[in-house]
Amino acid sequence: MAMRILIVGAGAVGGYFGGRLAQAGRDVTFLVRPSRAKQLRQDGLRIVSPHLNAVLTPKLVSAEEIDSAYDFVFLSVKAYALEAAMNDFAAAIGPETMMFPALNGMRHIDLLARRFGEHAVIGGVCLVASEIDDEGRIVQLADFQQLVYGERNGETTPRLKTLDATLQGAGFDARLSTDIMQAMWEKWVQLASLGAITCLARGTIGEIVAAPGGADLSLKVLDESAAVATACGHKPSETLLARHAAAMTAPESSLTSSMYRDLRKGALVEADHILGDFIERGDAHGITTPLLKAAFVNLRVYKERLPKR
């Protein structure tokens, strides 16, 4: 029987992967806020992508309309919005529901497991560069698009095999992992490093590298992040670090982080979840992270200046 899929949020990430799944014929419903629902009903779910554009008529539901459990729930809200969102999708979680939280960092795992039980929460890594433009379209900024998922204990269970079969052939790269926690930590290293340097320097990687000492500063930030992950038992591979080092020192690169893009828009940023929690875990192991801390303080000052919501 086909899996019933609930995508929580139809923004840059949930809208993209949920849209591709719906386009591939999967049973997909989006849980969205009234304003986004109105826009989607009027204009459709629009994707602008190097992998072909799409306009879909999505199946939508509000929190009050959820009346049964779903097989698979894909969480794509920002980390700072998770606690409020949990109340919205709680009715969709049953004894056999799998939740794939496509959030950054690790704090969300504890929050979800505490609310819905350890069994409900699988590990996941989402790799895509996308944003919502002024017209409400989902715009993919680069050609990579991948979901990686697995049981947090490393087992290959029947339910994960069913999920894997559902996600394969849906228009993006999908991979079942037996070491998903390592994959999540490695992504966290990349997010913390790229987020810290682009927000601290207020520029793209190319602009940072063009400044005297910029490339060296980027590498020092990466070294701090790798040291935290290593101390926490998840040492990044040398191959991965070399790839990140090359990306973070590439001349004329337009690469930025989602935190920096949010900052430029004057929006909330995930500083506490991507940097704050990361730094705290490093501190617990005696790891010194002056550049990460400088970026975090910078972003906390920025947050305090935002209009209260």
Please pick, among 78, 187, 220, 308, the residue that the annotation labels catalytic.
187
Q: Which residues make Cβ contacts (< 8 Å) with residue 135, sequence separation at least 6?
A: 43, 46
Q: CA 66, 9, 158 angle in degrees (round to 5)? A: 70
Q: Does 161 participate in catalysis according to the annotation? A: no
In the block, which residue shows the tokens 């500083």? 271
Within 13 Å, how many C-alpha atoms sit on residue 196's CB side?
A: 32
Residue 200 CA to residue 55 CA, distance in Å, equals: 37
In the block, which residue shows the tokens 């826009």? 39
Q: How far apart, in Å, are the Cα atoms of 125 and each of 174, 194, 267?
A: 10, 17, 24
Catalytic residue list: 187
